[in-house]
Structure formats: C-alpha cells, structure tokens
Amino acid sequence: KDWRAMGDAGPPARKLLFVCTLSLSVTYLCYSLLGGAGALQFPLALQEPPSPPPSPPPGDASPAADAWLRTPLAPGGTVTAREPGAPDDDELAGPRAANASGDRGGAASTPDYGEKRLPQAVIIGVKKGGTRALLEAIRVHPDVRAVGVEPHFFDRNYDKGLDWYRNVMPRTVDGQITMEKTPSYFVTSEAPQRIHSMAKDTKLIVVVRDPVTRAISDYTQTLSKKPDIPTFEVLAFKNRTLGLIDASWSAIRIGLYALHLQSWLRYFRLAQIHLVSGERLIVDPAGEMAKVQDFLGLARVVTEKHFFFNKTKGFPCLKKPEESGAPRCLGKSKGRTHPAIDPDVILRLRKFYKPFNMMFYQMTGQDFQWELEEGDK
Ligand SMILES: Nc1ncnc2c1ncn2[C@@H]1O[C@H](COP(=O)(O)OS(=O)(=O)O)[C@@H](OP(=O)(O)O)[C@H]1O
C-alpha cells in the first residue's frame, strides 16, 4: 500500500483519517476534562503557551554550546529570539543569534556572494527529537546552507515580517537550498498556515522520537536549568492514584504527534512532510540522511563516510573535514544522561501514548515501533 499517498487520498480515506483523529481528540479532551479546569482549553491546550515578545539583545555573547559546526558571523543577521530566562540549548539570543546565520565552520565559509532567500525546507520538530543532529548533518551537504540557531520566526517573531526572516538566512547561490530548524513550530497552531502562506511548496521535516523518551529528555533539559522542579513522576500525573496523565504538561503534550500532525495536514500534503526516526538517526545516521537527501532532491553526498561512532559520547559524530579541524560531536546538552524514572510510570505513559502512536503510524504509513521492547526491534 502506498502510504505516502495518503495525504492525497480521496474522500473515503480522508473521512477515515478525520474520524480516527476525532476519536483521539475526544480521548484527549476526556483526559483534559478529567484533569480539571486547568486543561479545559482544547484545542488550545495543544498549543505552546504564547511567548513573551523577544527581548533586546543581551550581553552574553558566548559561543553556541551545541553546534557540531561552529558558525561564523553573518552580516546583517539580527535574530533576537529568546525565552525570558536562559535561552534554550539551540536558541541563541541577540549578538549570539546574529552569529547564527551561515555555513559550516570557519570564518572563510560565510560567502559574501549569493542572495539571502527564504528557506525552501524547514525542520519543524520535534523538540528533543534529534533536530540539531539532523541539521548539522545536512549542512555538510554543499548544496545546503542553514541558519545555525533557531529563528523562531513562525512562533515568536512572526510580527517582524518576512524581510527580517530572510535576512536571518545565509546567502545561497542558485541550486542551493536554504534551511532552518525550530522544533517548536510542530506544536504551534499558527505555524502551518504561516509557512503555507510563505510558500505552499515548502518542504517540511519532522524528527520524531518515542514520545516517552522524548518527554524524559525534555524534562531532563528543564531539570538541568531548574534543579528544584518536582520529579518527572510527579509532573506526569494529574492524579497518580487514578493513573491520570497530565496531558497539559508540555513534556507530555508535545508527544501527541497524531494530533499535531493533523493541523499540518490541513495545509500540506503528506508527501511534503518527511519524517525522520530520531532512533534511527542515532543507530544509522547515514541511512536516515540518504532519505532526507532524496526528499530534498539532493544528490546523496552525506554518507557513511561522514560519520563515526564516538564511544565516549555514545552517539555518532561527524568526521573532521579533510583539510583541518577536529571531529565534531554535538555538545554536552545533546545526549544527556536521563534520570531513572519509575518503571510503572513509564508503563503508564506507554499505555497513554499507544493509541496516539497507532494513529500516527496510520496517518504517516510508517511504523516507528515505539511499542516494542529494545531487544525486539
Ligand atoms: N549524533 C547525536 N549526538 C547527540 N545527540 C543526538 C545525536 N543524534 C540524536 N541525538 C539526540 O538528540 C537529542 C536532542 O534533540 P534536539 O537536538 O532536537 O533537541 S532540541 O529540541 O533542539 O533542544 C538528544 O537527546 P538526549 O539524549 O535526551 O539529550 C539525543 O538523544
């Protein structure tokens, strides 16, 4: 069965899709209703909370901790996306963000020729899925130029306008693809319509990862910045005795992939959305990159020979470029050790996500096998 064609399917398939998604939405709504007034916002409950307006550039101009490839200064870039507190791992603010635009390592690599263009392909999610690893690997391709930090245009900076967004981008010559990644787009309700109105043929890439592991990874990141937060087990439940999961907690909510994908399918055909397995990106980065390059219409330039497995890091890293430089692994905030979580809680979460995962497999025609035990995969 040609699952990828489902996005273009005729009325019966669409109807089935609608009915299934509706039933999941109702399931989610029941959760929200049972969970109390705080969650009575569906479908708004699926959106990220509105962000504060971007702050003026802060003084901190330390380099990105997490780039596989250090990015040079790009003339004119003025990204100011940031959270009220410390920026997220991939979100650099002010002057640091201005350094974001551009290319792969080395000051000489920022070309002053070519044109700044709006991106033709965007990595829209998911948070903690492996989006940085993917972006840095695809940037190795000579026909790809990407902005190094997350511009957050379609969620936080939309009022700055498309000229601002274009200016954030690196210069490209004809035939090169401009890219960016901002994982929060996937769960931003306005993002599908906004990206569609920029260019309806934009290629979208989503790196998905087992929603349970993703939630723990998300929590681990928050914990690293705010060590005093309650335990994962406490935050995961509205009522632990009743086994009622708190689906309004963003760490849980982001993993309801089927519901989020539904919003994108209102504006984009499934064939325009490429899903990368976050798990496979770690065990077989070259295999996933082959599919990404095919999707982007690029020659398969990024292959096995670009990766090696770093045992200390426990992840694949990029080999050093031929002429110079060191091998490039992602920084310390990528591939963190997760805290041990109560196995009963994990089990409960697996049950919670199962119908949403099944729906997601149906919608996409891909089985990501998140229900299988490690050994069975
Ligand atoms: N090659 C390589 N090196 C290091 N880490 C890798 C790699 N490939 C995938 N990953 C996984 O990426 C997870 C972080 O995902 P993101 O980059 O999407 O995070 S973020 O949303 O941008 O903060 C990160 O999650 P944690 O392991 O929970 O830290 C990694 O599991």
Q: Would you say the CB of residue 335 lies under 6 angstroms from ligand 1?
A: yes
Q: Is the pLDDT of residue 156 over 60?
A: yes
Instruction: Please tell me whether the peptide bond between 212 and the residue prior to it is cis, using omega within 30 degrees of 0.
Output: no
Q: Which residues participate in catalysis according to the annotation?
A: 128
Q: How far apart are CA 65 and CA 84, in angstroms?
A: 19
Q: Average pLDDT, stretch 125-154? A: 98
Give me the pLDDT at residue 90, please: 61
Is there a contact between 341 and 244 (Cβ–Cβ < 8 Å)? no
pLDDT tens string 161-208: 999 999 999 999 999 999 999 999 999 999 999 999 999 999 999 999
Kindly tell me if the per-residue pLDDT of 16 is higher than 80: no
Q: What is the mean pLDDT of residues 330-338?
A: 96
Domain boundaries, the chain: 3-376
Residue 22 has pLDDT above 50, yes or no: yes
Q: What's the 198 CA to ligand 1 centre distance in angstroms?
A: 29
Dihedral angle of Cα 17, 23, 28, 33, to the nearest 10 degrees: 150
Kindly report which listed range (29-33, 124-128, 369-373) carries the lowest average pLDDT score: 29-33
Most confident of 13-17, 41-45, 247-251: 247-251
Distance (Å, whole) CA 19 – CA 71: 46
Alpha carbon of 202 to ligand 1 centroid (Å) = 24
- What is the pLDDT, as a whole number, of residue 69? 32
Does the pLDDT value for residue 287 go beyond 60? yes
Q: What's the pLDDT at 201?
A: 98
pLDDT at 5 over 70: no
pLDDT of residue 108 exceeding 90, the answer is no
Q: Which two tokens stand for residue 323?
A: 């002429």
61: CA distance to ligand 1 center in Å?
23
299 CA to centre of own chain: 24
Annotated binding site for 3'-phosphoadenylyl sulfate: 128-132, 209, 217, 334-338
Separation between Cα atoms, residue 271 and residue 218, nearest integer Å: 28
Using CA positions, which residue lies closest to atom 26 of ligand 1? 335
Tell the residue nearest (CA) to atom 11 of ligand 1: 130
Question: Has the ipTM of the complex gone over 0.95?
Answer: yes
Cβ(6) – ligand 1 distance below 6 Å: no
Q: Which residues contact 147 (CB under 8 A, 6 or more apart)?
A: 77, 79, 100, 101, 102, 168, 169, 170, 179, 180
CA-wise closest residue to 332 among 307, 315, 309, 308: 315
pLDDT at 322: 65
**Of residues 95 and 13, more confidently modeled:** 13
Distance of CA 224 to the CA centre of its chain: 19
Task: Give me the pLDDT at residue 219, please.
Answer: 98
Strand (E) positions, 251-321? 273-277, 307-310, 315-318
Residue 141 has pLDDT above 60, yes or no: yes
Q: How far is the CA of 138 from the centre of ligand 1 (A)?
A: 15
CATH architecture of 3-376: 3-Layer(aba) Sandwich (3.40)
Mean pLDDT comparison of 78-92, 193-207, 320-334, 362-376, highest-scoring range: 193-207
pLDDT tens-digit series, residues 227-241: 999 999 999 999 999
pLDDT at 138 over 60: yes
- Among 132, 184, 210, 307, the mutation site with the greatest number of ligand 1 atoms within 8 A of its Cβ is 132
Contacts of 194 (CB under 8 A, 6+ apart): 154, 158
More reliable by pLDDT, 109 or 344: 344
Whether the per-residue pLDDT at 340 is higher than 90: the answer is yes
Question: Mean pLDDT for the chain?
Answer: 80
Q: How confident is the model at residue 112 (pLDDT cuts 50, 70, 90)?
A: confident
First vs last Cα of the chain: how many Å apart?
A: 22
Do 90 and 149 touch, CB atoms closer than 8 A? yes
For the Cβ of 68 lying below 6 angstroms from any atom of ligand 1, the answer is: no
Structure tokens at 372: 């299988």
Q: Could you tell me which of 320, 293, 324, 291 has the C-alpha nearest to residue 306? A: 320
Burial classification of residue 285, based on how many CB atoms lie within 10 Å of its CB (0-12 exposed, 13-18 middle, 19 or more buried): buried
Q: Does ligand 1 have an atom closer than 6 angstroms to the CB of 217? A: yes
Closest Cα partner for 46 from 64, 69, 27? 27
Q: H/E element holding 47?
A: none
- CA 338, CA 93: separation in Å to the nearest integer? 27
Give the H/E segment covering residue 177.
Answer: strand 177-181
Nearest atom in ligand 1 to 207's CA: 18
Instruction: Give the per-residue pLDDT at 104.
Output: 44
Measure Cα distances from 173 to 111, 145, 195, 303 in Å: 10, 10, 22, 23
Q: Which residue has the tokens 């245009």?
A: 153
Instruction: Over range 266-284, report the average pLDDT.
Output: 98
pLDDT score at 119: 98
pLDDT-based confidence at 320, cuts 50/70/90? confident
- 183 touches 147 (CB < 8 A): no
Count Cβ atoms within 10 A of the Cβ of residue 256 and give its class: 0-12 exposed, 13-18 middle, 19 or more buried.
buried
User: Averaged over 96-104, what is the pLDDT?
Assistant: 42
Residue 374: per-residue pLDDT: 63
